[in-house]
Amino acid sequence: MKIVLTLLFAVFAIQTQAAPTFGTASVAPMTAIIGTPTLVTVRASITDPTLIANSVNLIQINADGTTTILGTLHDDGLNGDQYAGDLVFTLQVTLNAASASQVQLEVSAAFKGTLARVKSQVMSVYFQSANAPQQALTSLGRSLSSGDTKTALTYINASSNAVNSINTLKQAGLNVLATCVSTAVLVSSSVDSLIFQCPVTTPSGIANMEFDMVPGPNGQWVINSW
């Protein structure tokens, strides 16, 4: 009887201890071009001291609900990991897709005293056409020209200062923006960030307006600021 009670108390202690958690998990880039093998970097911050060494795995969630282990994240300062021992675990893998699709990933890790593995939030890499940003700008320009600000705002980062411009401009101003975004030229790019310029007529003449685009939560490119 004493042994049974001891086992019950041990199980109860495991069940009632605070569940270990992840810090931030991220993947970059979030977007890739259809049919192009793309190296992505996944990072996960895990500071819980009960983490079991070499248990941090990157999982791909397949379309049929099954999962595939793509590799083990590490914290050794090698192969894409920025700093050894900083408790930010890293893995670089190459992904590819033959059609427009969403590759879903999550990080899974095992902890001492916890029976089930703990998982991060699901992260996505969106495979899309090479001109997806320009397609978004074309659709934005059409919405602005027609005065459909509701649709136009779906192509604007909701937390950016560009939202105020859309909400306050009259149709003449919206037409100016429509022409601008429809004729914008890409001038520089980095991971998940594109910078465009377009000519705008001002009282003092013609000036270049610059704006940047980033992928939104659903992979659609949106204007972040101008």
The structural domains of the chain, with segments of one domain joined by +, span 20-128, 132-225
The amino acid at residue 183 is T
Domains 20-128 and 132-225 share a fold: no
Alpha helices in the chain (DSSP H): 2-16, 132-145, 149-152, 162-168, 171-182
By percentage, how much of the chain surpasses pLDDT 70?
91
pTM confidence score: 0.84
> Class for domain 20-128, per CATH?
mainly beta
**Residue 96 structure tokens:** 């590819």
CA distances from 211 to 24, 80, 196, 197 (A): 28, 30, 5, 6
pLDDT tens-digit profile of 177-205?
A: 999 999 999 999 998 999 999 987 766 76
Burial class for 153, CB neighbours closer than 10 Å (0-12, 13-18, 19+): middle
Instruction: Just give the CATH number of 132-225.
Output: 3.10.450
